[in-house]
Amino acid sequence: MLVDSHCHLDRLDLAPFDNNFQTLLDSTRAAGVGHILCVSIDLESYPAMLALVEDQPDISISVGVHPNDRDRQEPSPEELATLARHQKNVAIGETGLDYFRSEGDLEWQRTRFRRHIAAARLCSKPLIIHTRAAKEDTLRIMREEGADSVGGVMHCFTEDWDMARQALDLGFYISFSGIITFNSAADLREVAKKVPQDRLLIETDSPYLAPIPHRGKSNIPAYVGYVADKIAELRGLTREQLEALTTDNFNRLFLTDK
């Protein structure tokens, strides 16, 4: 069984599926995907996202506000923790820092990130962390705010082995997306070889970052199989072995009572 550990189901293009969400899910399950984590990026769309998947037992959700957009509802740690107590919710995020797409004084990003870590500690849920061009500040804030007490995942990882190693030391998992299949991702593939087997996750981040051979098109959860195939190849595993270990890792991080 495959698990897509990070996607945005409420943002997928349903046109290829007769504009029917259930048809998309049927296609995803037919591709061997047994569980999906649908990740929140803002509170304005969170109620609709929850309503979309609430009756689907093989879909979990998170709650959080992405670091890129400043003009979003800014929740308190207590508000996030309360929302995260819903039975389908397994994580806080996505959250983190992104200095690549933002400029100027980014203290608001750092404050938002700290609030999410505080929320995760309040409700004892793991974090889903997005980081881009912000290695030092991301790790520093994780340490300062005690992110290691709840753990989580560095999602759609694109940084170097040094950052991966430091995140692993804080108890975090490392998740790879379709980027791992890109011709330009040779350095990232070296990182993927080094991550300990019991800390490895796979994802699509759909509808973004479709893997080869679908690069440039809209991504879907069924394409997580391409990520699995590439990482299995890199690590000298069978597809079945890679599926089993990443599913076990997902269940241990998100679905097992700590």
**pLDDT tens across the length of the chain (258 residues):** 999 999 999 999 999 999 999 999 999 999 999 999 999 999 999 999 999 999 999 999 999 999 998 888 999 999 999 999 999 999 999 999 999 877 778 999 999 999 999 999 999 999 999 999 999 999 999 999 999 999 999 999 999 999 999 999 999 999 999 999 999 999 999 999 999 999 999 999 999 999 999 999 999 999 999 999 999 999 999 999 999 999 999 999 999 875
Look at residue 258 in the predicted model and tell me its pLDDT: 55
Look at residue 125 in the predicted model and tell me its pLDDT: 98
Look at residue 240 in the predicted model and tell me its pLDDT: 97
One-letter amino acid at 57 equals P
Look at residue 256 in the predicted model and tell me its pLDDT: 87
Domains delineated in the chain:
2-255 (3.20.20.140)
Question: In the sheet where 200-202 sits, what is the strand order?
Answer: 2-7, 33-38, 59-63, 89-98, 127-132, 152-154, 172-176, 200-202
CA distance 165 to 122: 26
Among candidates 134, 126, 151, 218, which has minimal Cα distance to 178? 218
Tokens 């981040």 belong to residue: 205
Look at residue 69 in the predicted model and tell me its pLDDT: 84
